[in-house]
Structure formats: structure tokens, C-alpha cells
Amino acid sequence: MRIAVFPGQGSQSPGFLSPWLDADGAADRLAQYSEWSGVDLVAAGTEWDADRIRDTQVAQPLIVAASLLSWNALPDRDGIGGVAGHSVGEFAAAAAAGVLSEQAALTLVGIRGRAMAEAAATAQTGMSAVIGGDEAAVLARLEELGLSPANYNGGGQLVVAGALDGLQALAADPVPGTRVIPLQVAGAFHTRYMAPAVDALRAAAAEVTASDPRVMLWTNRDGSAVTSGADFVALLVDQVASPVRWDLCMTSFADAGVSGIVELSPAGTLVGLAKRALRGVPAVAVKTPADLDAATALVAVES
């Protein structure tokens, strides 16, 4: 089975959307995405600098819009047998699987980004990546410091979140065998600090129609495949304040016999994790339209 995966926040970079706007209809599609999300995605993806597109309420719809632009540009999507997204990438995965319309996905992710930015502004919090070390020892240290695991990314990478003083203490005295890398995000995402954003997103999600997925669809909650569209939307809402278990998603990919992975734009991060955790599984990162031929060739092998 060939699958498509959709990246999360932090994968964006200044000007990364520019190559995609040359495709027929892409500029009009992005203008529509901008209207639905409430963000000028054309300017954000082509003109704005790194600091401006790092803003949560900009980054989230920008990433989902880029993923859907590149997904729509993939010629042989019928060869994709399953999809999954990392964090906010689950909204793109939901649209690709037919659970949500593109309008619903962009509308909800715009609300999600604004609500998470507002929640983040209420406390001095942040996130750091912890690379290497014994996971049990890392989790024990987090509990001592009042920190929480936010993203179990697999491949020896755990993203942690919480109060800035706790993160600083972790960096000053790391668990043996680990490296602690502060991340440029303004909030403790996927933790209890995001509870107000959950409430806002749940109210908005109650207004959308969900369909059951057309292809296999895995959830960040526990890596399981979800067959109910309504259930997946509920998981999307709860995910804002609960850890992302991408490690379990990759375990499920292996169990399902996944034989190729295409990561949609802004790509690279999930392919890197797959190369460490799913050794031998071919993977293509679709960063620009020039990568579509390689992605098409990978999907065609399965077809």
C-alpha cells in the first residue's frame, strides 16, 4: 500500500508556496483557501518572512493549504490507499480522505490557529525537542519539572512542552544521552494549556458535515485506523490538547504493509522520521512541483 502523509507546524519556510502558484488554477484555489481560513495565504506563502509565518494563526492554515495544493497536483491519487497527518496535518488528511470538504478543513483550521494563539498568549510556555536517550527516563524527568510530552515522533525524538522555566531547567540539566533543542513556537501545544482552544474548535466542528473516509485513515491519538468520519472529527478536536502519537502511526503503517510514502508540501520532516523508523520503505518528499514526477512514479509502482 502507498500512502500520503501531511506535515505539521514548523515545516513552513519563507516563499515556499511560490513554485506552486505557476500551476493552472492554483492561484485561484489559494485565494479561495484564504477566504475560508481568514488568512492572506498568497502573501503569507510568497512574501512574508519567517517570523510572520511562524505565527500560529498563520502557520496552521498555510501548511494545510500547501498540503492540499500539492495533493490536488498529484496526478494519480487513486493509487494512494491511506492517509495520515501530523498534528495540524490531520486536517489536510481529513480532506484528502473525503471526511471533510476543503472548505470545512480550511475554515476549521483557521479557527484552530486563532484559538491556539489566544490560548498560548495566556501563559509563558513553549516547546523543545528532546533527541535520544531513554524514553522512560525522559518522561520521568518531565514529570519532575511539570512538563508534558507533546509529540512522540519516533526515531528517538520526543517534543515536550510546558512552562518556560521548566523547559529551561531541562535544557540546563538534560537527561543523560539526550540533546534538548528549543523550538520557535509560542505555546505549549498538545497539552492542557490548549484547553480553551479545544472548546472553540468543538463549537465550530459541530457545524460541519463529516463523511466516512474513502481510504484508510490513521489518527494521531493512538495510531489506529478510523472508519467513522464523525469519530475522526471528534479526535481532531481533542488532539489540540492531547499528545501526537506519530510513533504509533508509523507502527501502524508497518503493520498495514505500507510499501511507499509520499509526503505532501511543505515536505521533508515526516520523510526524515520514516527513514529512521521504517527503514527500507521508499519515501518521496514533495517540496515543489518538480518532485511530483518522483511521487507519481512511486504510486504507479503499486498501481
- Provide the pLDDT for residue 25: 86
- Provide the pLDDT for residue 273: 94
- Provide the pLDDT for residue 119: 95
* Eight-state DSSP code of residue 111: H
Number of residues written out for the chain: 303
- Which of 5, 10, 3 has its CA nearest to residue 220? 5
Phi/psi region, residue 25 (left: phi>0; alpha: psi -120 to 50; beta: rest), is: left
Catalytic residues: 87, 190
Amino acid, single-letter form, for residue 216? M
Instruction: Flag residues of the chain having pLDDT under 50.
Output: none
pTM over 0.85: yes
Amino acid, single-letter form, for residue 136? A
Q: Are 93 and 12 in contact (CB under 8 A)?
A: no
Q: What are phi and psi of 227, to 5 degrees?
A: -105, -10
- Which of 7, 3, 8, 6 has its CA nearest to residue 240? 8
- SS3 of 142-201: HHHHCCEEEEEEECCEEEEEEEHHHHHHHHHCCCCCEEEEECCCCCCCCCHHHHHHHHHH
- Provide the pLDDT for residue 44: 96
- Provide the pLDDT for residue 303: 53
- Provide the pLDDT for residue 186: 77
